[in-house]
Amino acid sequence: MTPRPDWLRAPAALPDGDARAGAAVHQLALTKPPGALGRLEAVAIRLASLQRLSKPVVRRPQICVFAADHGVVQEGVSAFPQEVTAQMVLNMARGGAAISVLARETGSAIELISLGTVMHIAPHPLVREAVIGPGTANFARGAAMTDAQLAQALGEGRAACERALADRRDLFIGGEMGIGNTTSASALACALLGRPAEDLVGPGTGLDGPGIGRKRDVVAQALALHRVSADDPLAALRCMGGFEIAALAGAFVACAQRRLPMLIDGFITSVAALAAVRICRGAGDWMLLGHVSAEPGHRCVVAALEAAGAEAPLLDLGMRLGEGSGAAAALPLVRLACALHAEMATFDQAGVAPKSG
């Protein structure tokens, strides 16, 4: 059994039932037929219960992108070389990546956290160095990380949540960068869901048919090697996870404990979220799913997150980039949901007759 850091034992906070009920009543008083704004109404009501506000707001979102390399790349599971991880972190820092553009356009703060890459990342004021090692070990041959490395990665995620709270952020978006991390996420998803590799392994960075087959074989080999129980998410993270995936899981648990709502990104981030809800019961109540990824295994993970209390995905745009990009793209919808809830007139205010009967 993998040791559990003490802070992971704290429960998730409970959403505010009174705030939820009040927001639902307010929605019925707005100048529209009940339910006419569909999911936007549900998002506003959910956020009201999480923020303990009758009229929720998202004015200060925080994006945290965790980056790390993966030893399993040695098995030929990626279409890109491993040095791309470090290169892309610098591209993000310089403002050239998709998540950089989305952060600017949505007015979101962005933090880049390097947990360990094969290629050295030149110092940059926007890159926080929290190096655990030069990437994980090859999980097709042995455990991806030690107990101490797992605890450190989880703790770096918790620290990111604490920094966001200290800066009075009101929504947390987690992102990731790491060549090989769809292989790690696929293996984790298989372990946590009890599904075979052929159900969940996809093209990731753009593998062709033979490449997907090789990746599927590597995941199946790892599952047979580690034989991790679906009831032991920490062991799954230690054996087959990545530093950035474990950090995301730690951040998501901490957000649920500390009452910070989350907007969850695509396949890799959702697998980290699945680990979080298995570690901390009730964490799913604090999650809104940003989008459905084109990565084939994502819908299975989404179904498990919804069953654990997460709000269903807001977008389905065929995206599969990662970085937090799908969640950031959904952020304007979350803000619109809040604005409609807060700024529409009620029937009484507008002098409009409500629905009869």
In terms of Cα–Cα distance, which of 238, 255, 251, 216 is closest to 65?
A: 251
**Is residue 280, in this structure, part of any structural domain at all?**
yes
* 323 noted as active-site residue: yes
**Is residue 356, in this structure, part of any structural domain at all?**
no
The pLDDT-based confidence of 195 (bands split at 50, 70, 90) is very high
- Write the single-letter amino acid at 272: A
127-129 sheet: strands from edge to edge:
127-129, 109-116, 61-68, 171-177, 262-264, 287-289
Using DSSP's 3-state secondary structure scheme, residue 237 falls into helix
- pLDDT (average), residues 180-206: 93
What are 2-30's pLDDT values in tens digits? Answer: 888 999 999 999 999 999 999 999 999 99
Q: State the CATH number of the domain containing residue 142.
A: 3.40.50.10210
* Segments forming the whole domain that contains residue 174: 61-332
In whole angstroms, what is the distance from residue 305 CA to residue 265 CA? 12
Asked if 247 and 212 count as a contact pair (C-beta separation under 8 A), the reply is no
Residue 357: what pLDDT? 60
**Is residue 240, in this structure, part of any structural domain at all?**
yes
What are 113-132's pLDDT values in tens digits? Answer: 999 999 999 899 999 999 99
**Is residue 298, in this structure, part of any structural domain at all?**
yes
What are 173-190's pLDDT values in tens digits? Answer: 999 999 999 999 999 999
**Is residue 43, in this structure, part of any structural domain at all?**
no
**Is residue 273, in this structure, part of any structural domain at all?**
yes
Tokens representing residue 200 in the block: 């969940």
Residue 205: what pLDDT? 73
**Is residue 285, in this structure, part of any structural domain at all?**
yes
Number of domains observed in the structure of the chain: 1
Rama region for 322: left / alpha / beta (φ>0; ψ in -120 to 50; rest): left
**Is residue 41, in this structure, part of any structural domain at all?**
no
Q: Judge whether residue 207 has pLDDT over 90.
A: no
Tokens representing residue 144 in the block: 């991806």
Catalytic residue among 41, 176, 295, 323: 323
